Amino acid sequence: MHAVRNLRLCTKDCLCLFVCPTGATDTETGQIDFAKCIDGCRLCVDACPSHAISLILETYPEPKVKESTIQKALNILLESKVSQEQLCSSVASNSEKATKALATALARSTRILAEDCARESAFMLPQSESVRQFLAELVDKPYGEDFPYDAVKRLLELL
């Protein structure tokens, strides 16, 4: 693992600089030198009063294989959740006060549960605006022929 610093949180008090045994935490550039960082020592993480440093993995595991049996089971589950949400929304739109509030809350919790199931099964794409902007920036930059531009464009289409 390696330490990384969130510059937005860093207050430049340099505590990490004092505790790091290898001098990896350069507060002038804001960068933590991966080459000098000792695997998982986390002294800087624990010392930082701003919680600006965290540890990240050096390599990440391969994504889960999306097996068709899991995909089918998930589709059935999500279809059922969509029906439940529609039912709750219908009850909410035809009810008053307490019943309306209860049905609205149930519709919302059903949606969240469905999204959690999809996310935990690795079938859900990150859908925030910042992810879209990040991908759009990747497409615009000249990274070279081996960069997977087609995959990034496809992701953008899907989001």
Site for ligand SF4 in 11-30 (CB under 6 A): 11-16, 19-20, 22, 24-25, 27
4 binds ligand SF4 (CB under 6 A): no
Site for ligand SF4 in 43-82 (CB under 6 A): 43-44, 47-48, 50, 52-53
Long-range contacts of residues 70-78, Cβ cutoff 8 Å, at least 24 apart: 70/121, 71/123, 74/117, 74/118, 74/121, 74/123, 77/114, 77/117, 78/114, 78/117, 78/118
Token pair belonging to 22: 């290898």
Q: 6: which residues sit within 8 A by CB, 6+ positions away?
A: 52, 53, 54
| Shortest separation between residue 61's beta carbon and ligand SF4, angstroms | 21
Q: Residue 32 or residue 88: which is nearer to ligand SF4 going by CB?
A: 32
| Shortest separation between residue 121's beta carbon and ligand SF4, angstroms | 33
Q: 17: which residues sit within 8 A by CB, 6+ positions away?
A: 23, 25, 26, 27
Q: How many residues bind ligand SF4 (CB under 6 A)?
A: 27
Q: Residue 43 or residue 74: which is nearer to ligand SF4 going by CB?
A: 43
User: d(Cα 152, Cα 88) in Å, to the nearest integer?
Assistant: 37
The residue ranges that bind ligand SF4 (CB under 6 A) are: 3, 5, 10-16, 19-20, 22, 24-25, 27, 32, 37-38, 41-44, 47-48, 50, 52-53
